[in-house]
Amino acid sequence: MSIVKCYMSVMDFSAFEKKINITFSDKNLLRSAFTHRSYLNENRKSGMEHNERLEFLGDAVLELIVTEYLYGKFPEKNEGDLTSYRSALVNAVTLAGVAEGLGMNEHMLLSRGEAKDTGRARQIILANAIEAFIGALYLDGGYESTKMFVSRHVLKLVDDIISQKTWLDAKSHFQEKAQEIVGVTPSYETVKETGPDHDKKFTVAVFLGKERVAEGDGKSKQEAEQQAAKAALLAKGWE
Protein backbone atom coordinates (compact mmCIF):
# COMPACT_ATOMS: atom_id res chain seq x y z
CA MET A 1 0.00 0.00 0.00
CA SER A 2 1.46 3.34 -1.02
CA ILE A 3 1.68 6.14 1.47
CA VAL A 4 -1.40 8.32 1.22
CA LYS A 5 -0.70 12.04 1.05
CA CYS A 6 -2.67 14.05 3.56
CA TYR A 7 -1.84 17.67 2.88
CA MET A 8 -3.42 19.88 0.29
CA SER A 9 -0.15 21.70 -0.36
CA VAL A 10 1.47 18.58 -1.82
CA MET A 11 -1.56 17.29 -3.68
CA ASP A 12 -1.56 17.62 -7.44
CA PHE A 13 -4.42 16.12 -9.42
CA SER A 14 -2.98 16.83 -12.87
CA ALA A 15 -1.32 13.40 -13.02
CA PHE A 16 -4.65 11.77 -12.26
CA GLU A 17 -6.41 13.83 -14.91
CA LYS A 18 -3.76 12.85 -17.42
CA LYS A 19 -4.09 9.18 -16.53
CA ILE A 20 -7.84 9.13 -17.10
CA ASN A 21 -7.61 11.54 -20.04
CA ILE A 22 -10.15 13.92 -18.51
CA THR A 23 -9.49 17.53 -17.58
CA PHE A 24 -11.82 19.20 -15.10
CA SER A 25 -12.95 22.77 -15.64
CA ASP A 26 -13.80 23.10 -11.94
CA LYS A 27 -10.80 21.81 -10.00
CA ASN A 28 -12.64 22.30 -6.71
CA LEU A 29 -15.11 19.60 -7.72
CA LEU A 30 -12.25 17.21 -8.38
CA ARG A 31 -10.60 18.01 -5.04
CA SER A 32 -13.87 17.56 -3.19
CA ALA A 33 -14.32 14.10 -4.72
CA PHE A 34 -11.05 13.03 -3.11
CA THR A 35 -11.66 14.73 0.24
CA HIS A 36 -12.73 12.44 3.07
CA ARG A 37 -14.65 13.95 5.98
CA SER A 38 -11.80 13.02 8.34
CA TYR A 39 -9.38 15.29 6.46
CA LEU A 40 -11.53 18.33 7.18
CA ASN A 41 -11.65 17.43 10.86
CA GLU A 42 -7.90 18.07 10.93
CA ASN A 43 -8.00 20.96 8.42
CA ARG A 44 -11.03 22.97 9.47
CA LYS A 45 -9.81 26.20 7.84
CA SER A 46 -9.23 24.64 4.43
CA GLY A 47 -12.51 26.00 3.07
CA MET A 48 -13.06 22.71 1.26
CA GLU A 49 -16.08 20.42 1.12
CA HIS A 50 -15.91 16.69 1.82
CA ASN A 51 -17.09 14.18 -0.76
CA GLU A 52 -20.28 12.83 0.79
CA ARG A 53 -22.73 14.99 -1.20
CA LEU A 54 -20.90 14.13 -4.42
CA GLU A 55 -20.99 10.47 -3.43
CA PHE A 56 -24.77 10.69 -3.05
CA LEU A 57 -25.08 12.15 -6.54
CA GLY A 58 -22.52 9.81 -8.10
CA ASP A 59 -24.22 6.74 -6.68
CA ALA A 60 -27.44 7.68 -8.49
CA VAL A 61 -25.69 8.57 -11.75
CA LEU A 62 -23.67 5.35 -11.71
CA GLU A 63 -26.76 3.24 -11.05
CA LEU A 64 -28.60 4.87 -13.95
CA ILE A 65 -25.72 4.33 -16.38
CA VAL A 66 -25.24 0.71 -15.32
CA THR A 67 -28.98 0.00 -15.40
CA GLU A 68 -29.36 1.51 -18.87
CA TYR A 69 -26.43 -0.53 -20.15
CA LEU A 70 -27.59 -3.83 -18.69
CA TYR A 71 -31.16 -3.29 -19.91
CA GLY A 72 -29.89 -2.92 -23.46
CA LYS A 73 -27.20 -5.61 -23.36
CA PHE A 74 -29.34 -8.41 -21.91
CA PRO A 75 -32.87 -8.17 -23.38
CA GLU A 76 -33.54 -11.81 -22.47
CA LYS A 77 -32.70 -11.45 -18.76
CA ASN A 78 -35.34 -10.89 -16.08
CA GLU A 79 -35.38 -8.17 -13.44
CA GLY A 80 -33.81 -10.40 -10.80
CA ASP A 81 -30.78 -11.28 -12.92
CA LEU A 82 -30.29 -7.69 -14.04
CA THR A 83 -30.45 -6.51 -10.43
CA SER A 84 -27.82 -9.08 -9.43
CA TYR A 85 -25.53 -8.04 -12.28
CA ARG A 86 -25.91 -4.40 -11.32
CA SER A 87 -25.19 -5.13 -7.66
CA ALA A 88 -21.99 -6.94 -8.63
CA LEU A 89 -20.85 -4.00 -10.75
CA VAL A 90 -21.51 -1.29 -8.17
CA ASN A 91 -20.65 -3.03 -4.90
CA ALA A 92 -17.79 -1.82 -2.70
CA VAL A 93 -15.39 -4.58 -3.73
CA THR A 94 -15.74 -3.90 -7.46
CA LEU A 95 -15.65 -0.13 -7.15
CA ALA A 96 -12.68 -0.16 -4.79
CA GLY A 97 -10.82 -2.34 -7.31
CA VAL A 98 -11.59 0.14 -10.08
CA ALA A 99 -10.45 3.03 -7.86
CA GLU A 100 -7.19 1.27 -7.02
CA GLY A 101 -6.56 0.51 -10.67
CA LEU A 102 -6.94 4.21 -11.45
CA GLY A 103 -4.51 5.17 -8.68
CA MET A 104 -7.11 7.05 -6.64
CA ASN A 105 -5.56 5.80 -3.43
CA GLU A 106 -2.50 7.95 -4.15
CA HIS A 107 -4.57 11.13 -4.18
CA MET A 108 -7.01 10.69 -1.29
CA LEU A 109 -7.13 13.50 1.26
CA LEU A 110 -7.46 11.72 4.60
CA SER A 111 -6.78 12.33 8.26
CA ARG A 112 -3.59 10.86 9.66
CA GLY A 113 -5.62 8.13 11.34
CA GLU A 114 -7.61 7.19 8.24
CA ALA A 115 -4.42 7.22 6.16
CA LYS A 116 -3.12 4.32 8.26
CA ASP A 117 -6.19 2.14 7.79
CA THR A 118 -6.11 -0.71 5.32
CA GLY A 119 -8.34 -3.60 4.37
CA ARG A 120 -12.11 -3.24 4.50
CA ALA A 121 -12.04 0.32 5.87
CA ARG A 122 -9.88 1.59 3.00
CA GLN A 123 -11.95 -0.41 0.51
CA ILE A 124 -15.09 1.44 1.56
CA ILE A 125 -13.33 4.82 1.42
CA LEU A 126 -12.18 4.13 -2.14
CA ALA A 127 -15.57 2.85 -3.27
CA ASN A 128 -17.20 5.99 -1.90
CA ALA A 129 -14.53 8.15 -3.52
CA ILE A 130 -15.10 6.79 -7.01
CA GLU A 131 -18.84 7.38 -6.61
CA ALA A 132 -18.00 10.94 -5.53
CA PHE A 133 -15.71 11.30 -8.55
CA ILE A 134 -18.52 10.15 -10.84
CA GLY A 135 -20.78 12.76 -9.25
CA ALA A 136 -18.13 15.44 -9.77
CA LEU A 137 -17.59 14.38 -13.38
CA TYR A 138 -21.32 14.52 -14.04
CA LEU A 139 -21.49 18.10 -12.73
CA ASP A 140 -18.35 19.18 -14.57
CA GLY A 141 -18.64 17.35 -17.88
CA GLY A 142 -22.23 16.16 -18.19
CA TYR A 143 -23.91 12.80 -18.62
CA GLU A 144 -22.21 11.64 -21.82
CA SER A 145 -18.71 12.27 -20.49
CA THR A 146 -19.60 10.39 -17.31
CA LYS A 147 -21.12 7.55 -19.31
CA MET A 148 -17.89 7.18 -21.31
CA PHE A 149 -15.84 7.02 -18.11
CA VAL A 150 -18.12 4.40 -16.54
CA SER A 151 -18.09 2.39 -19.76
CA ARG A 152 -14.29 2.31 -19.88
CA HIS A 153 -13.72 1.47 -16.24
CA VAL A 154 -16.81 -0.26 -14.82
CA LEU A 155 -19.02 -1.68 -17.57
CA LYS A 156 -16.07 -3.47 -19.17
CA LEU A 157 -16.09 -5.81 -16.14
CA VAL A 158 -19.55 -7.23 -16.77
CA ASP A 159 -18.52 -10.17 -18.98
CA ASP A 160 -15.95 -11.40 -16.44
CA ILE A 161 -18.43 -10.96 -13.59
CA ILE A 162 -20.98 -13.12 -15.39
CA SER A 163 -18.56 -15.78 -16.63
CA GLN A 164 -16.95 -16.13 -13.20
CA LYS A 165 -20.35 -15.98 -11.44
CA THR A 166 -19.13 -13.26 -9.09
CA TRP A 167 -22.57 -11.67 -9.52
CA LEU A 168 -23.82 -14.33 -7.15
CA ASP A 169 -23.43 -13.32 -3.52
CA ALA A 170 -21.68 -15.84 -1.29
CA LYS A 171 -24.90 -17.32 0.10
CA SER A 172 -26.40 -17.76 -3.35
CA HIS A 173 -23.17 -19.21 -4.69
CA PHE A 174 -22.82 -21.68 -1.82
CA GLN A 175 -26.45 -22.73 -2.13
CA GLU A 176 -26.08 -23.28 -5.88
CA LYS A 177 -22.95 -25.39 -5.38
CA ALA A 178 -24.40 -27.36 -2.46
CA GLN A 179 -27.54 -28.24 -4.38
CA GLU A 180 -25.56 -29.13 -7.48
CA ILE A 181 -22.86 -31.24 -5.78
CA VAL A 182 -24.46 -32.81 -2.71
CA GLY A 183 -28.17 -32.16 -3.28
CA VAL A 184 -28.60 -30.29 0.02
CA THR A 185 -29.82 -26.75 0.74
CA PRO A 186 -27.60 -25.02 3.35
CA SER A 187 -29.07 -23.86 6.64
CA TYR A 188 -27.76 -21.12 8.97
CA GLU A 189 -27.82 -20.85 12.74
CA THR A 190 -26.76 -17.96 14.96
CA VAL A 191 -24.42 -19.53 17.50
CA LYS A 192 -23.19 -16.46 19.39
CA GLU A 193 -24.06 -12.81 20.03
CA THR A 194 -21.66 -10.48 21.81
CA GLY A 195 -21.43 -6.77 22.59
CA PRO A 196 -23.94 -4.11 23.65
CA ASP A 197 -27.12 -3.49 21.70
CA HIS A 198 -25.62 -0.59 19.74
CA ASP A 199 -22.53 -2.59 18.75
CA LYS A 200 -23.54 -6.22 18.40
CA LYS A 201 -21.38 -8.91 16.85
CA PHE A 202 -22.97 -12.10 15.54
CA THR A 203 -21.42 -15.49 14.83
CA VAL A 204 -23.36 -17.70 12.42
CA ALA A 205 -22.66 -21.31 11.49
CA VAL A 206 -23.66 -22.82 8.15
CA PHE A 207 -24.72 -26.46 7.88
CA LEU A 208 -25.20 -29.01 5.14
CA GLY A 209 -27.64 -31.34 6.81
CA LYS A 210 -25.99 -32.16 10.13
CA GLU A 211 -22.51 -31.22 8.90
CA ARG A 212 -21.28 -27.95 10.37
CA VAL A 213 -19.23 -26.58 7.49
CA ALA A 214 -18.01 -23.15 8.63
CA GLU A 215 -18.67 -20.04 10.70
CA GLY A 216 -18.71 -16.33 9.99
CA ASP A 217 -18.81 -13.13 12.02
CA GLY A 218 -20.52 -9.83 11.31
CA LYS A 219 -22.24 -6.77 12.73
CA SER A 220 -25.56 -8.15 11.52
CA LYS A 221 -26.89 -11.66 11.08
CA GLN A 222 -26.99 -11.11 7.33
CA GLU A 223 -23.34 -10.09 7.20
CA ALA A 224 -22.36 -13.04 9.39
CA GLU A 225 -24.26 -15.42 7.09
CA GLN A 226 -22.42 -14.05 4.06
CA GLN A 227 -19.08 -14.50 5.83
CA ALA A 228 -20.04 -18.04 6.84
CA ALA A 229 -20.96 -18.85 3.25
CA LYS A 230 -17.61 -17.47 2.01
CA ALA A 231 -15.77 -19.62 4.55
CA ALA A 232 -17.85 -22.64 3.55
CA LEU A 233 -17.00 -22.17 -0.13
CA LEU A 234 -13.32 -22.17 0.81
CA ALA A 235 -13.69 -25.15 3.16
CA LYS A 236 -15.37 -27.20 0.42
CA GLY A 237 -13.06 -26.00 -2.33
CA TRP A 238 -16.06 -24.66 -4.25
CA GLU A 239 -14.89 -21.03 -4.49
Q: Topology of domain 8-163, per CATH?
A: Ribonuclease iii, N-terminal Endonuclease Domain; Chain A (1.10.1520)
In percent, how much of the chain has pLDDT > 70? 92
Confidence of residue 119 (pLDDT cuts 50, 70, 90): low
Give the per-residue pLDDT at 117.
66
Q: Is residue 126 within 8 Å of 104, Cβ to Cβ? A: yes
Average pLDDT over residues 152-175: 87
Q: Which tops the pLDDT comparison, 101 or 11?
A: 101
Q: What is the mean pLDDT of residues 127-151?
A: 97
Residue ranges, CATH 3.30.160.20, the chain: 170-236
Residues of the chain with CATH 1.10.1520.10: 8-163
Q: What is the mean pLDDT of residues 120-147?
A: 94
Task: Say if residues 114 and 125 touch (Cβ distance below 8 Å).
Answer: yes
Sheet with strand 187-194: strands edge to edge: 187-194, 201-208, 211-218
- Residue 226, pLDDT score: 85
pLDDT of 5 above 70:
no
What pLDDT does 10 receive? Answer: 45
| Percentage, residues of the chain above pLDDT 90 | 59
Q: Is 74 helix (H, G, I), strand (E, B) or coil?
A: coil
Rounded to 5°, the CA angle 105-86-180 comes to 110
Please give the positions annotated as active site.
59, 131
pLDDT over 50 at 9, yes or no: no
Q: Give the CATH fold of the 170-236 domain.
A: Double Stranded RNA Binding Domain (3.30.160)
Flag whether pLDDT at 2 surpasses 50. no
How many angstroms separate the CA atoms of 4 and 31, rounded?
A: 15
| Mean pLDDT, residues 214-235 taken together | 89
Beta strands in 66-117 (DSSP E): none
Which pLDDT tens digit goes with each residue over 19-78?
A: 999 999 999 999 999 999 888 877 777 778 899 999 999 999 999 999 999 999 999 999
| Predicted structure pTM score | 0.71
